[in-house]
Amino acid sequence: MFYREALRGINKGGFWNMLVIDGVVGVGKTTLMKIMEERGYIPFEEPVYNNPILEKFYYDRVRYSFPLQIFFLNKRFKHIKEASLVHNAVMDRSIYGDVIFAKMLQQSGEMSREEFDLYLELFENMIEHCKPPKLMVYLEISVDEAMKRIQKRGREYEKVVEREYWERLNANYREYFDQYSISPILKINVDNIDFENNHDDREYVIGLIENKLRELEDAV
């Protein structure tokens, strides 16, 4: 129950009025965020672009795992503080799930125990200042389908990564969201859904999200 314990210190005094979209690399988080932006949400994109460490990390994970995670943790804390001040924010990943990558890298030996303990202390200090989101949307996907989308996207530094890394990442995501309990959650399997290019698929996914939000509002 590591992930549940890592989030236990979150501020439980209500929810922030935000929608968080999460899932493994290549699942379509940014695309869905932009679709929700068209519906009136204010987007907060994951700090992948203008990230001086990310590409280096994929070529030398042992050297760059710790600085990359500290970079992401810092940016995600900044982002969520900004998003908390906005009505109807939508986030492409967030601080809540940042610990998934750090735990995976520590387990594989690519982040030392000392580095991980320092990371975890920072994470727990930051999460105390965060409230849960209004809704967490977890996009589930198989490893095979995620890898197809990664290849199609064409980022060279992602294409060099071995399959085992994506398998471990997917397994950790499933474990995290099996333990996730800090807010309402909507899980959507997107193996056979193309909400980027297929209008019916897009309306289906939007409908699931909007129905869940209405359900939550009716329960208040």
The per-residue pLDDT for range 105-125, each reduced to its tens digit, is 999 999 999 999 999 999 999
pLDDT at 157: 82
Residue 17 in 3-state DSSP? strand
**Phi, psi (deg, nearest 5) at residue 43:** -85, 145
Q: Measured between alpha carbons, how far is residue 136 from residues 90, 95, 97, 133, 161 in Å?
A: 10, 12, 10, 7, 28
CB count within 10 Å of CB 181 equals 12
Annotated binding site for ATP: 23-31, 149-153
Residue 194 a catalytic site member: no
* Residue 49: Cβ-neighbour burial (10 angstroms; 0-12, 13-18, 19+): exposed
Evaluate whether 112 touches 63 at the Cβ level (below 8 Å): no
CA distance linking residue 168 with residue 183, whole number of Å: 25
pLDDT tier at 161, thresholds 50, 70, 90: confident
According to CATH, what is the number of the domain 2-7+18-219? 3.40.50.300
Chain segment 9-43, per-residue pLDDT in tens: 999 889 999 999 999 998 999 999 999 999 999 99
One-letter amino acid for residue 33 of the chain? M
Domain boundaries along the sequence of the chain: 2-7+18-219
Evaluate whether 121 touches 7 at the Cβ level (below 8 Å): no
Cβ neighbours for 177, distance < 8 A, ≥ 6 positions apart: 22, 138, 185, 187
Annotated binding site for substrate: 46, 58, 69, 93, 98, 158
In this prediction, residues 60-77 reach a mean pLDDT of 96
In this prediction, residues 132-150 reach a mean pLDDT of 95
pTM over 0.85: yes
Residue 18 in 3-state DSSP? strand
22, 92, 117, 201: the active-site residue: 92
